[in-house]
Amino acid sequence: MITVSLPHNAVAGRLCQHDGVEVDIEALRQRALAWLDDDPDPATRAELRAVLDGLPGTASELADRFAGPLTFGTAGLRGPVRAGPNGMNLAVVRGATAGLVAWLADQGADGPVVIGYDARHGSAAFAAEAARVVTGAGRRALLLPRPLPTPVLAYAVRALEAVAGVMVTASHNPPADNGYKVYLGARLGGDTGAGAQIVPPADRQIEAAIRAVGALRTVPLGPPPEVVDESIVESYLDGAVAVVDPDGPRDIRLAYTPLHGVGAATALAAFERAGFGMPVTVASQLEPDPDFPTVAFPNPEEPGAMDAVIAAAAESGADLAIANDPDADRCAVAVPDPRRGDPATPTGWRLLRGDEVGVLLADHLMRRGRTGRYTTTIVSSSLLRAMCADRGLPYGETLTGFKWIVRAGDDLTFGYEEALGYCVAPWHVRDKDGITAALTVAELAAELARDGQTLLDRLAELATRYGLYATDQASVRVADLSVISQAMARLRATSVSTLGGHPVTETRDLLPEADVVILRTEHSRVVVRPSGTEPKLKVYLEVVEPVTDSLPAAETAARAGLEALRADISTILGV
């Protein structure tokens, strides 16, 4: 047993408060000592010793690190890089991978596991640790050749005929975080889930297998993995470029940023191969940097995250500004908007909402004659449903998350979620893919430019035809997760009769399938749910306004409607 320079009687019998709960410091100390004894990483052992040495002053921090193990959320684990079971570290990765390979064995599923990683703190080391657990279990571990986008890993699961895939990434989470996402191959995922993220009951079964691992020192570690050569990236790019029409127009000027993530090399190669030429880039954000120094939050949805690429686009006279999130599975788009000002200045640009990009891409594919099922989620715009009904195409609607979207049916041809995720080629990558989405939106913009139009013109055309579907989102970030559960309980206990001044026509509670409540009026909708990846309560608002007079008049009415919904639901939730 490792000893710590802290007298037993310094903490015995004392209590501390953590998230409103009293914690026995001595019991907590003993748990930490047991963890220290089994932690394979000298760095995190030293980190945890320092916290123990600070007791009782560090009791709250220690309680947070041991508040519970990270659990499988949206396809895997995600949390801050730090020592202890409630963090991402080598010990947690070793245990998670040991549970995963044990579960694969229980399923009788042979085959290799392919492992990818991004450039966040700890990613390369976590990937190497996962690989050695896989080889220690007698399986082949195939490690991608360098930090790469998540869509490349999703592609590689099928391309390399792997039984499963692991991607070490925290996507667009804060810099302190990392994560561990699990994908399944055809053997366990089936036709629609091959190369897709895990869904129940696999997540619960893997979670149970992780808890059954026991002492980490007993987990066998094998030799280093086989490193996949660059041909996997070339193969991914070949398929990505094939998504756009090789004979389509390419006369468009692009600006691009990977937001300090791993998307640049892959995205720029894709643009060049597809014939769009080299976009203007943001030099300060081009290389991977796990600290994300130029943005407050590495998520292109967040205010200010795209300021640099919009400034570069305005200065260079670009027609389109595109950003990928740090693992390049999401795509954000900004466009010049003359109503806002001079496009040669950043104030003359507008960031398109995820719903706007989603319906633009869907409409583009429909106009190209793409048949099959067009799918979105319960929190995304209802416009896609109207477009499919009008054009006689199958429509799918799922719970939030691409793990559900890609399982909408064998006939899936396009899927999107409002959080900037798009799948324009499910036969290539059965997950959201920010690279192919960027290529497709560039193709659409080039086609419109050839005809003297813009993406905003096409959005106006869709609004005139179907009505203006205006969406917005409100997020409440919390330090105490009980705030979220209390707000959801308050909503469920309230009989909501009106929203935005209109009678509520439908109330749907999706429990126990999902922690989601949906409220509808004749021309509006509110969806409330906790985030699956962050400590947030999310509220999704939608108002549908007919364009009977003018589009600006409909926009004004829609903005007022959204604000009325926002005010009412905020009062109901009490947050």
Instruction: Kindly list the catalytic residues.
Output: 171
- In the sheet with 536-545, reading across from the earlier edge strand, the strands are 468-477, 536-545, 524-530, 517-521, 506-509
Distance from chain centroid for Cα 371: 27
Cα separation, 466 vs 390, whole angstroms: 9
| Sign of CA pseudo-dihedral 283, 287, 293, 294 | positive
Cα separation, 375 vs 105, whole angstroms: 34
| Count of other CB atoms within 10 angstroms of residue 74 | 20
Q: Is 530 helix (H, G, I), strand (E, B) or coil?
A: strand
**Nearest residue to 333 (alpha-carbon basis) of 365, 359, 370, 366:** 359
Cα separation, 338 vs 500, whole angstroms: 31
* 8 A C-beta contact, residue 410 and residue 192: yes
Cα separation, 9 vs 24, whole angstroms: 13
Which residue carries 């925290």 as its tokens? 170
Helical (H) or strand (E) element with 17: strand 15-18
* 8 A C-beta contact, residue 410 and residue 452: no
- How far from 321 is each of 336, 414, 507, CA to CA, in Å? 9, 23, 39
**Nearest residue to 113 (alpha-carbon basis) of 99, 147, 192, 204:** 99
Give the relative orientation of helices 434-450 and 150-159 as an angle to the nearest 10 degrees: 110
- Cβ-Cβ contacts under 8 Å for 311 (sequence gap 6 or more): 346
Supply 343's token pair: 């496009």
State the DSSP code for 10. Answer: G
Q: Indicate the Cα dihedral angle 186, 189, 194, 199, nearest 10°.
A: -160
Which residue carries 């996507």 as its tokens? 171
Q: Is 505 helix (H, G, I), strand (E, B) or coil?
A: coil
Q: Is 407 helix (H, G, I), strand (E, B) or coil?
A: coil
Instruction: Considering only the C-alpha atoms of the chain, give the largest distance between any 2 of them, rounded to a whole number of Å.
Output: 79
Supply 540's token pair: 């999704």
* 8 A C-beta contact, residue 342 and residue 351: no
**Nearest residue to 124 (alpha-carbon basis) of 139, 141, 144, 138:** 144
| Count of other CB atoms within 10 angstroms of residue 20 | 7
